[in-house]
Structure 1
Amino acid sequence: MAAPKPAPSARETELLELAYQYSLTHGLADLSLRPLATAIGSSPRVLLFLFDSKDGLIRALLARTRTDELELLREINSRYGDAPGLEVIARELWTWLAAKERRPLMTLWVEAYGRSLVAPEGPWADYARSTVDDWLELLATAQRKRERASRRGEARRTGVLAILRGALLDLLATGNKDRTTAAVEAYLAD
């Protein structure tokens, strides 16, 4: 059994955050260590030492992107009592997803999600699946217990997730927040 990885050093944490900010602008798919290291005031050798490999750095960056997503899910869960309803949670999620200041994060999320589907091995492994599971779990908590356990309840939360993600892709492609918000609202009203 491998020994657990020690807690990250202050420098590792600092460089990860700088690399995360860099990746919001430049993406991860074609990440090259030399330009990244130059941009964040480090060297490729230091990044390889701290993260073991380029794949290790990408895994750390993907985990960092999920940190924002998971924090949102925890925040929404703590704000509402028992089973506020899918519509309430979906509107909260859409407001967060569609915010202009989150476009770089959402673009990075789409890139990572897509890479996870076409390159399921290596650093991208299971990223898409884990984000689906995270969001479906949150949506399930919005449902009453009886609905949550039913096939219809599962189908309803899957539909809500699909509309949110489809509207997000459309928003990122077109920038048309009014139209995509109207689509989300129309779906939730049915």
Structure 2
Amino acid sequence: MTTIVLASNNQGKLAEFRTLFDGAGLALNIVPQGELGIDDAVEDGLSFVENAIIKARHASRASGLPAVADDSGLVVPVLGNAPGIYSARFAGEHGNDAANNAKLLKELEKFRTGAPIVGKFICVLAMVRHADDPLPIIAQGEWMGEILPELRGENGFGYDPLFYIPALDKTSAELDKAQKNAISHRGQALQVLLERLKAEHKA
């Protein structure tokens, strides 16, 4: 079994990765970087792609193992595509979901005129086979929805309780894991990544 380092300690992301990797039949073991004593990388890129590659190379260099990194966030056009790459630290403290959601709601108050506020989740995955891999695998997913004026649902993490999918009449936080993995930005990107890995495995 091949071990791949996940350049994140986010338990929600880890669960989603493991579910999809376990079902792919590729004998891959995902280990979060914290279990290997690896600190977070400095995310000083200007795009989701840049930050994903930075994180993947950092985890691979520190571990000597292949690594995969996720850089994802919520893009809201009426806010000039904020919070974007700063989604996890929108309110100042990295990973404080309650504060980030509260700030997003506050920022959107003046735009609530009756029409739905559109938002889009973006996920970019970067996988490197080694730290200096000249050709990282890049996979991307996008998920359209609306931003509600109040939280709904207990599942998920991040902005999930505010991200509403009209076709399902549910927020991302009201979906079970299987539903979310089938349609989410991260689920889409992971499926692309897994198809690439399967192709490499057969080659």
Q: TM-score, normalised by structure 1?
A: 0.26
Instruction: Compare CA radii of gyration and give the structure with the larger one.
Output: 1
Structure ranking higher on relative contact order (CA contacts 8 Å, 6+ apart): 1
Q: TM-score, normalised by structure 2?
A: 0.25
